[in-house]
A = this chain, B = another copy of it.
Amino acid sequence: MTAYINNPKEIEKRSFEIITEELGGKTFPPEIADIVKRVIHTTADFEYADLIEFKNNAVESGLKALEAGKKIYADTSMIKVAVNRKALADHQLEIVNYVHDEDVAKAAKERGVTRSTVGMEKALDDDSVGIFAIGNAPTALYKLIEFIKTGKAKPDLIVGAPIGFVGAAESKEALDELDALGVPYIRINGRKGGSPVVAAILNAMLYKLGRDW
């Protein structure tokens, strides 16, 4: 058993086979199938096959951003530590999170808004950020949507997956307002989502660029 368990590549391969098997007749276009399966792999929760939604050429646009070396902004430290650091390094990519920065904490306190809001504003100020990935804060997602609607931001990809019982689902529904603008997003409908789900989506995107085990 030891040799078997010690080979993460084999374990992952077998896991994906099991997921494919259990999805049964539920199939997805090739460019999104690996993303859906990685989310299920991360959560052991098949409901995500029905909750995940891809809009406005999300995958294509996100990949182009990564190929162009654009940064990823994540709204939690958990996303940052859960994204494969080797895959990022191999492709000279960077993921940033500003929620715990001192200037962000200070401004949030002074203005009486969430650190997530101020962290998002800081990211929106940085043109090198192409992908905005939100697993926790509806306020961060609302701020992003506001900036886009007023023409102050045009992200390559949004991963919209705040989790929770109060306000999370509504913040994700608000992404509908971006359809008229053709803004690419990947969304988890309903209450579910969260940092591990966002990280799984980002990892699946990174592995599309090539993966060196």
Contacts and interface: CB of A to CB of B under 8 A. Distances in A.
Q: How many copies does the complex hold?
A: 2
30 contacts: A2-B113, A2-B139, A4-B167, A5-B139, A6-B112, A6-B113, A6-B114, A11-B164, A11-B166, A11-B167, A14-B165, A14-B166, A15-B164, A15-B165, A15-B166, A18-B166, A43-B43, A43-B163, A44-B163, A44-B165, A44-B190, A44-B192, A44-B193, A45-B45, A77-B81, A78-B82, A82-B195, A194-B196, A195-B196, A196-B196
A18, A78, A114 interface centre (most CB from chain B within 10 Å): A78
A55 interface: no
Given A78-B78, A167-B5, A194 B43 contact: yes
Interface residues of A, number: 35
A19 to B, nearest CB: 7
Contacts of A62: none
